[in-house]
Structures are given as C-alpha cells and as structure tokens.
Amino acid sequence: MSQLVYWLDMAGVIVFALSGVVLACRKRMDPVGMLVLAAVTGIGGGTLRDLVLGVRPVFWVSDPTYLWVIVVTVGLSLLGFHYIHRLSRGFMPVADAFGLAIFTALGTHKALQLGHAGEVATLMGMMTGVAGGMIRDVLARRVPMVLREEIYATAAFSGGVVYVLLYTLDVPLMITIGASLTATLGLRLAAIYWGLALPVFAWVTIPPRPVEDDRAVAQKAKQRVRMIYRARKRR
C-alpha cells in the first residue's frame, strides 16, 4: 500500500510540474524560469505541509527522486512542447484536477499518519493541493486561482473531509483514498464542465431613481456591497 501512495505522489508531481511548464511558456520565461515554476508547483505544497507539521527533512530532501522527476518532466516538455501546448487548454485543467485530488488525499493521509487531529489533517490536505499552485501564480504575476471564484480549494477541502471521515470509521485505505479522490475530482471537474463558481463580493453603484416631480430633490448614486454570481456555462 505504501508503494501505491508513493506512485500516486509521483503522478501528482508530474501533473503539477507540467502545469508550471505551460504557464511559464505563456509568460515567455526561459528554461530556468520553467524549471522554477515546475518545481514550486510540483513540490511546493508538500514542502509547506512538512514544514508546518515539523517533518525533518522534508520529503524531497530525503528522497531526491522527486527533483529528478521534475527535471525530466521539464526536459521532455521542452522537446515536445508543441504537442503539450496544443493539449493545454482542454487537457491541462483536467490534469490539474487530478493532481489536486491526488495531493489532497496524500496530504491528509500523511497528517493523519503523524497522529494529528482530523481538522488539522483536512487543512494539511488542502494546503498540499493548493499551495504549490498559489506560489506558481504569484511568481507568474497572476492572481492565484484559489483566491478567485473558482471552485478549487473548496474541492480540496471536500476531499479532505471525506478522507478524514472514512479514516475515522476504519474504512480500508484503498477505499478511503479512492473516495477522497472521487470527491475532489468530481467537484473540480463539475466546476470546469459547467462553469460552477462561488459568489464574489463587489462594490456596485446603484443609480438614483428617476425624479418625476420637479420639486423633488435629485438623489445621488449609492455604492453598496453585493454578492455577484457568475453565469453558468450552457451545454
């Protein structure tokens, strides 16, 4: 079972590293910039998780294979980027959703294995899934997806909650991981397909009512905070 967890972790690193490569090319970065974005996306969330949990050394220091996987991923991407870029618009959001689901489940798993409470494990799972992408977006001067209306962190949080609940009920590890992956992936893919999003709060200007009586005092426009919903995609 530990081998399954290990290879799932490697798969998540590859997928997230690819998303870093694609964004680096869109931002016209050189190969060094591509490697940096791929690395922070692939191992940034897990690194932050280990630092918060007090795990020393962090996972990629004790096992440098993670670093070589990122280097190889970037190298192969440079050789075949034309094909990867053609897949980026449709394939990469789905691949990123798989990476999010994998990292969320494994981050929650690691926190529970270290003896931490379910609440902490859920947050660690979400951190593992979203922190790498946040660092990537900040370095690329883009508003992180988790801070926008996208259903991203919400999907990770849901997967973490499912994992903790099943772990508490002593459900077999294979089923627990599968259910957590399904919860995160299902919610994220649904958000991508139907354009689901959380509401955002914004200042809106309310125009004054038209004055019907000449003796009435003209009102001024008012500004209020309103909850704005994004229109769903039609299929």
Q: Please tell me whether residue 209 adopts helix, strand or coil conformation.
A: coil
- Residue 31's φ and ψ, nearest 5 degrees, are -55, -35
pTM: 0.86
Please report, for the chain, the start and end positions of each structural domain, with discontinuous segments joined by +. Answer: 2-194
Tens digit of each residue's pLDDT, the chain (235 residues): 688 899 999 999 999 999 899 888 888 899 999 999 999 999 999 999 999 999 999 999 999 999 999 999 999 988 877 776 666 667 778 888 999 999 999 999 999 999 999 999 999 999 999 999 999 999 999 888 787 767 999 999 999 999 999 999 999 999 999 999 999 999 999 998 888 888 777 767 777 766 665 555 556 666 777 767 766 655 5
Residues 138 and 40: beta-carbon distance below 8 Å:
no
Angle between helices 2-26 and 31-53 (to 10 degrees): 140
